Amino acid sequence: MDNTNQTRKSLSDYLYLLLKWKRFLIINLIIVVLISTTVAFLIPVKYKATATIMIPQDGGFNLGGLSGLLGGGKNSAASLGSKFFGVLGSSEDVFLGILNSRTAIIHVIEKYNLYDYYEISDSNIDKTLKAFTGDIDFNVNEYGMIDISVINEDSKLSAEISNYFVHLLDSLNIKLNAEQARNNRLYVENRYNQNLKDLRAAEDSFYTFQRKYGIVAVPEQLQVAFKATAEIEAQLAAKEMAAFFTKQQYGENSPQYSGALAEVEYLKKRVSELKNGEKISSLTNILYPFKQMPNIAMEYIRTFRELEIQSKILEFILPLYEHAKVEEQKSLPTIVSIDKAYPPQLKDSPKRAFIIIAFFSLFFFFFVMYIFRAELLIRREDLRNQIQLSELKFAQKVAKFYRVKV
């Protein structure tokens, strides 16, 4: 119970001190309010204009109708080429990078002569950049769109600069995309020309092979050769049996046996040419000796494979080349303007009420602390050093000036 009474007494003592020094507290707080109000109204009024843009869903680069002509789909040549060369469109990070680039900001500073606005007498670009970057803000809002905000003392100028940033962003992005597309086109063009040379060389090699061996289709002609050999050997077996029976019937010196034996010898010669000979004595370009078949087949495989490879490369790279040429010539808008900036009617700064309340609260706390300190010095009798004595004299003068009973 004693503690409660002591607490209540202490609180009442504090309130009594504030009431005792009320003249000092009220007069000084009124002065602080007047000064802070004056300062708040002397600070120039600034306006904030904001333009909002959206990044197109298909990005800065797209294949358009070309994808359909090339087969579309995720695995089409044009789609793969876009991934390989990085032309997948501009992201929000790229847009923010362009807006915050030194090139873009300096362009705006020089266009609107902001050296005079920021009172940079020597036209120091670094000083102007530092000042201007504090008055601009580029950020992605909660809906995934980019807000471009500009703060200026002139509401119309703030809106004009904000809208110009949108135009500048689009023009710089188109320029960068065109430059990237040109580099891609040059790279693909060089590869395309090289492919044409390689394909022409492969075609010439295949033509030379066909002229050399008189072969048009190796697998089919090999099949014909095997089939012909089998038929000749079957005929040989039949003729040998016929010759044997003819010999038994007519004798070894009979003309019938001589004719049958001649047929057998001819067929044996043909079989030997097919299996072991270097070439066939016949003028046919369909049958070839088996001894040459592995070399012919291997040379055919290598020549035909190179031709197929170069043809497949051409199928892939030709759409890329056409796509790169289209992209180089394209200058379509790369952004979509959602909200155009208009001159704001409400100021963005200064926050005058905040300034006045902040000064009032700060000095109220300071004055209360000073009152408690002054009372403590006035009531103490054992002041120990010169500083405390000086504080006491000043507190007595203040109390006398504001007619505080001590």
Give the C-alpha separation, 172 to 329, whole Å: 15
Q: What pLDDT was estimated at residue 4?
A: 46
Contact 318, 196 (CB under 8 A): no
Residue 214, domain extent: 204-312
In-domain check, residue 11: no
Residues of the chain with pLDDT under 70: 1-10, 57-90, 214-226, 228-229, 273-293, 331, 383, 406
Per the structure, the count of domains in the chain is 3
Angle between helices 386-401 and 352-379 (to 10 degrees): 120
Residue of 144, 134, 132, 135 lying closest to 53 (CA atoms):
144
What does the pLDDT look like over 299-330, one tens digit per residue?
777 887 888 888 888 888 888 888 878 777 77
CB atoms within 10 A of CB 47: 21
The residues near 35 (Cβ < 8 Å, ≥ 6 apart) are 359
In-domain check, residue 292: yes
Match 């923010």 to its residue by tokens: 96
In-domain check, residue 345: no
Give the C-alpha separation, 371 to 375, whole Å: 6
What does the pLDDT look like over 72-130, one tens digit per residue?
444 444 444 444 444 444 477 888 888 999 999 999 999 998 998 988 888 889 999 99
Do residues 62 and 167 share a domain? yes
Do residues 122 and 249 share a domain? no
In-domain check, residue 14: no
In-domain check, residue 6: no
Do residues 139 and 173 share a domain? yes
Q: What pLDDT was estimated at residue 275?
A: 62
CA atoms 317, 322, 327, 332: torsion sign: negative
Do residues 229 and 366 share a domain? no
Do residues 112 and 60 share a domain? yes
Do residues 112 and 140 share a domain? yes
Do residues 291 and 364 share a domain? no
In-domain check, residue 7: no
Do residues 164 and 60 share a domain? yes
Q: What pLDDT was estimated at residue 32?
A: 93
Do residues 154 and 251 share a domain? no
In-domain check, residue 2: no
Q: What pLDDT was estimated at residue 337?
A: 85
Do residues 193 and 90 share a domain? yes
Do residues 35 and 183 share a domain? no
- What CATH number does residue 158 fall under? 3.30.1890
Assign 51 to helix, strand or coil.
Answer: strand
In-domain check, residue 112: yes
Q: What pLDDT was estimated at residue 290?
A: 61
Residue of 20, 6, 31, 33 lying closest to 368 (CA atoms):
20
Do residues 106 and 185 share a domain? yes
